[in-house]
């Protein structure tokens, strides 16, 4: 989903998956990847509500 909705590369999508699903990540790292995801979704025309549903 991140590849299509946020134009993430496969490696970025994997980082997002790991940051959001229980693996030990630094809080700053998680916030940074989430911010990139939401910014990229907005750039691709998705509103915040839809981006949040995709992220969850």
Backbone angles phi and psi of 11, in degrees to 5: -65, -40
pLDDT digits (tens, 9 = 90+) for 9-44: 888 888 877 776 655 667 778 888 888 889 999 999
Contact criterion met (CB below 8 Å) for 16 and 33: yes
pLDDT, greater one: 2 or 46: 46
pLDDT digits (tens, 9 = 90+) for 46-55: 999 999 888 8
DSSP characters over 16-41 = HHHHHTTS---HHHHHHHHHHHHHHH
Two tokens at 14?
């994997």
Taking the C-alpha atoms of residue 39 and residue 45, their distance in angstroms, rounded to an integer, is 10
């Amino acid at each position: 989903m991140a590849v299509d909705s946020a134009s993430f590369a496969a490696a970025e999508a994997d980082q997002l998956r790991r940051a959001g699903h229980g693996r030990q990540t630094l809080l700053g790292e998680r916030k940074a990847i989430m911010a990139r995801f939401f910014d990229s979704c907005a750039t691709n025309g998705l509103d915040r509500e839809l981006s949040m549903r995709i992220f969850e």
